[in-house]
Amino acid sequence: MPWDGSLVISALHAAYASGATTPTEVVRAVHERLTAYAADVDPAVWIDVVPLDTLLERAAELERAHDGKDKPALFGVPMSVKNSIDVAGFKTTLACPDFAYVAEKTAPAVQRALDAGAILVGTTNLDQFATGLVGHRSPYGTPRSVFDKEYISGGSSSGSAVSVGAKLVSFSIGTDTAGSTRVPASFNGVVGLKPTLYSISTVGLVPACKTADCVTVLAPTVDDARQVYDVLRAFDPNDSLARPYDKLTSGLAPWRSEGIKFATPPAELLEVLSAPYAQLYKQAVDKLARGGLVNAEGFNYEPFEQANNMLYGSSIVAQRLVAFDDYLTAHGTSTMHPVVASIFAASSGFSAVRAYQDLFLLASYKRRVELEFEKADVLVVPSTVTHWKVAEVDEDPLGRNKILGSFTHFVNLVDLCAISVPAGTWTNPSGNEMPFGLTFIAPAGRDAELMRLAERFQKM
């Protein structure tokens, strides 16, 4: 049978194995798709696109190297990379032309994907300096939701999510500090895996908030996300924050096969949800209960909410001033996107005393969160609270960005892993079906179990 055009990894593997297609044919099709999508639908997805000739050379190289041999895990699989992660020979811009530099080395996470046979198609647009959850803060344009171009794509991994949602690539390597993978994944109907902190090397990632930054995977299915994560995950001794994943998981007792306990935020915090999101979230929670999961008793969401509130108005945000100190010294904020400039301005003025106070306060929340996870296996939250139109974000850029992170900001701050999966649709006023995302959250090291639970949920 001929290749049906699917970029799902298992489908590509099957098509390659049967001879239905080749990497050369796939990259031709992918390049044609992304060119048409940029011309006819959304010109703001990419910052750099690999030329077709280079794609064909890469495909031919893979075909020669693995002809008649076992294929590597990501053989012939097209991918994109968020343009805050270094790829040798490409500009790393963080959506700020004044900041841009040509990377000399490829980030280890990206290199592992390439070594496993993946084909880089291009680097994707993002909220400037990876600051934002809206995808609407870039001089390279505003990527739009693949479901309705009047609506935001979400950010900061905006182009990454759209490149997957529009079926231009099989997966994207993105980042997540405070929701930057989970929110755009939910807005574009794809899976967003925010794995355990430091389980994937962050070398070559320009940090937004170094202690909370995380390299992530956006993919069409949970199985695709799993396959990519298995390739990317590795201890990197050159990453000062890396930790051996096997040691982290070795002491964890496995979840029971039945009666997994789940917790949810309290009803008063869920009042922030739009009406369609509230209905879809309730349906998802009901589905979990019918599917054999058990509501956790006595679960206290307060430390999660308190940690969530720390992201803004605390010294934690001052980390971005450390990351971009040289740039700020040379350029200031005058050429930044005005909203991003205001955020940088608000990140200054914290004393060393305040920084330590916040550090200790966050540590106390982390300990309390650990205790709550003795009562529940998993926390289930809406991936975000509503879906704004681009014009609506313009009305209140800071306020409407902040509200999108109502259930995302705390996850990295208190060292949890998470996965956002599509969980239903709603109809917008234009009559278009729009996606809703549900996020499963668990302690560090529970990535595999979260992915199994997410797949189980989608089959319920």
Name the residues annotated as catalytic. Answer: 82, 156, 180
Chain centroid to CA 114:
19
Query: Considering only CA atoms, which of 168, 172, 75 is closest in space to residue 123?
Result: 172
Task: Give me the residues paired with residue 80 across strands.
Answer: 122, 172
Token output for 260: 């997994």
Amino acid (1-letter code) at residue 328? L
Burial of 89 (0-12, 13-18, 19+ CB in 10 A): exposed
Rounded CA-CA distance 382/379 in Å is 10
Please compute, for residue 165, the number of CA atoms within 13 A of its CA located in the half-sphere on the CB side.
32
- One-letter amino acid at 145 equals S
Beta strands at 78-82 and 171-175: parallel, antiparallel or unpaired: parallel
Structure tokens at 28: 């031709």
Quick check: 197 and 177 in contact, CB under 8 A?
A: no
Beta carbons of 357 and 350 less than 8 angstroms apart: no
CB 215 within 8 A of CB 205: yes
How far apart are the C-alpha atoms of 415 and 130, rounded to whole Å? Answer: 20
Query: How many other C-beta atoms can be found within 10 angstroms of the C-beta atom of residue 288?
Result: 23
Strands 215-219 and 171-175, sheet pairing: antiparallel
Output DSSP code: residue 46: E
**Looking at the DSSP assignment, which residues form a beta bridge with residue 295?**
262
User: Is residue 226 within 8 Å of residue 191, measured between CB atoms?
Assistant: no
CB 402 within 8 A of CB 343: no
How many Å apart are CA 419 and CA 28, to the nearest integer? Answer: 32
